[in-house]
Amino acid sequence: MSELHAVVTGASSGIGAAAVRRLTAEGWRVTAVARRQERLAALQAETGCAVIVADITSAADVARLAQAVTGPVHALVNNAGGAVGWVTIAQSSPDDWLSQYALNVVGTVRVTQALLPHLIDSGRGDVINLTSTAGHEPYEYGAGYVAAKHAEAAMTRTLRLELTGTGVRVMEIAPGMVHTEEFSLHRFDGDQSKADAVYQGIEPLTAQDIADAAFYALSRPHHVSMDLMVIRPREQGGATKTVRR
């Protein structure tokens, strides 16, 4: 088979960048998508990936992305996403609910719609949606994110039903606590000490752990669909139970 091609969103840091590194190391051609040009340029210099600067919440950017992607796409890794705020529903900002839905759900839908013809044309396409354990169980103070991730997980299952028979696998990876440079920092509005406290006293997952799972799913024989992988650090028994040393 000719070279496999993956498109990875949210590629400028964290799980997305780790997926780009892993897939290029495994010999895939990779197109990395993110908003921040300088970070993408560094990743391109390091890995040889192609880059497209785009904000997946922008219809115009995603239309440009669809034009810029060349050749068949064998895998779309929908990783771009994020959480805003740590607050009760009573205190939460409706704008934050909207922005989390726009990014985690609608953005993922936009990119998937745009690249679906490329995925079907490849004859063996894969969609991997990086959701979260927050898409499967609620926790206090994170309802806007929990709701958006539940919606993304529901959308993923619906997409699988709709694409059954097209040759496209639709797979979901739902990570628990993954210590990345930016996820918690963004959630806590730049407060580094609050972000660091999330991972204190446990050994959290790393972005590489999740990239490893994504590569595992992608590299199964194509009649095997890893529909859902839920991955947590050992000390996180559930969304509301973490045992710290």
Q: CB nearer to ligand 8X3: give 87 or 120.
A: 87
Catalytic, 199? Answer: no
Rounded to 5 degrees, what angle do the CA atoms 14, 15, 20 make? 105
The verdict on 242 binding ligand 8X3 (CB under 6 A) reads no
β-pair partners for 30:
6
Q: What Å distances lie between residue 5 and 27, 74, 216, CA to CA?
A: 9, 5, 16
Least distance CB 239 / ligand 8X3 (angstroms): 6
Contact string 150-189 vs ligand 8X3 (x = CB under 6 A): --------------------------xx------------
**Active-site position among 139, 141, 145, 216:** 145
What gap in Å lies between CA 167 and CA 27, rounded to an integer?
22
Asked if 75 interacts with ligand 8X3 (CB under 6 A), we say no
For residues 235, 82, 150, 162, the Cα torsion angle rounded to the nearest 10 degrees is -120
Cβ closer to ligand 8X3: 68 or 230?
A: 230
3-state secondary structure of 185: helix
Helix ranges restricted to H, 132-182: 143-163
Region binding ligand 8X3 by CB under 6 A among candidate stretches 21-29, 126-134, 161-169, 202-210: 126-134
Total residues found in the chain within this entry: 245
Quick check: helix, strand or coil at residue 229?
strand
Which of 20, 23, 49, 134 is close enough to bind ligand 8X3 by CB under 6 A? 134
How far is the C-alpha of 98 from the C-alpha of 115, rounded, in Å?
Answer: 24
CB of 135 to ligand 8X3, least distance (A): 8
Whether the CB-CB separation of 80 and 128 falls below 8 Å is answered with: no
Nearer Cβ to ligand 8X3 (28/145): 145
Q: Which stretch binds ligand 8X3 (CB under 6 A): 7-15, 18-26, 129-137, 156-164?
A: 129-137
- Pick one of 78, 132, 156, 180: the residue that binds ligand 8X3 (CB under 6 A): 132
Name the strand (E) or helix (H) holding 29: strand 29-34
Please, which residue, 50 or 202, has the CB nearer to ligand 8X3?
202
- Enzyme catalytic residues: 145
Where along the sequence are the contacts to ligand 8X3 (CB under 6 A)?
132-134, 176-177, 239
